[in-house]
Amino acid sequence: MTLIYPGSFDPITLGHIDIAMRGAKIATTLVVAVLHNPEKKPLFTLDERVRLLKNELGSISNIDICSFDGMLVELAAEKGATAILRGLRGISDFEAETNLAIYNKLLSDTNVETVFLVADALHTHVSSSGAKEVASLIYGNNLCDNPLDTVVSKNVKNALKQKFSRHRAVR
């Protein structure tokens, strides 16, 4: 069974990594699909996001990493995915995610299902937007970056540091 795990991954967090690894245990193949949506104005370019993902998940043999900018349901069909995989951190994710699942089913020729994995208790506070906000405060004020250790990997921490240092330098 192939599952497709789509997201912005701007940047990949420990929460995303956990969902992807657990998904890869259930699926024969897990396709991690990075959404290219310029309207979202991501901090990391599409290439950077894919590179960060490959660094974290590239060594897992049944994980396939790609990017897309069209309709998710079309990519799901193209990849032969049985279902879309998403993560749930709590009530706010539940509302948005169930709506998305309904729309994806309506848009899909095959009535594609969405399956959910509940976030690990260690990651319920973890989000890409939170990581970016905290990183901007930490690196903008020369603070100790230990608080980011529960949110992102060392490699992503370095990437965030470079972004916010670069942003400061051009101001």
Q: Is 40 a catalytic residue?
A: yes
65 by DSSP, 3-state: which? strand
* CA distance to 11, 73, 83, per residue, from 19 (Å): 15, 20, 15
- Collect all residues with Cβ–Cβ distance below 8 Å to 23 and sequence separation of at least 6: 3, 5, 30, 85, 117
Residue 104: closest CA among 114, 94, 93, 115: 114
Question: Under the rule (CB under 6 A), what is the footprint of ligand ADP?
Answer: 7-9, 13, 15-16, 19, 86-87, 89, 93, 119, 123, 126-128
Distance CA 141, CA 125 (A): 22
For ligand ADP, the closer of residues 92 and 142 by Cβ is 92
- The one catalytic residue in 8, 16, 132, 157 is 16
For ligand ADP, the closer of residues 20 and 138 by Cβ is 20
- The one catalytic residue in 8, 49, 123, 128 is 128
- The one catalytic residue in 22, 89, 105, 161 is 89
In the complex, the smallest distance separating the C-beta of residue 151 from ligand ADP, rounded to whole angstroms, is: 9
In the complex, the smallest distance separating the C-beta of residue 127 from ligand ADP, rounded to whole angstroms, is: 5
Q: Is 125 a catalytic residue?
A: no
Angle 151-153-158 (CA atoms, 0-180°, nearest 5)? 105
Q: Is 128 a catalytic residue?
A: yes
- The one catalytic residue in 40, 125, 167, 168 is 40
For ligand ADP, the closer of residues 74 and 165 by Cβ is 74
**Which tokens hold the place of 55?**
């660094």
In the complex, the smallest distance separating the C-beta of residue 3 from ligand ADP, rounded to whole angstroms, is: 12
Position closest to ligand ADP via CB? 15
In the complex, the smallest distance separating the C-beta of residue 72 from ligand ADP, rounded to whole angstroms, is: 9
Distance CA 132, CA 138 (A): 10
DSSP label at residue 83 = E
User: Mind telling me the catalytic residues?
Assistant: 16, 40, 89, 128
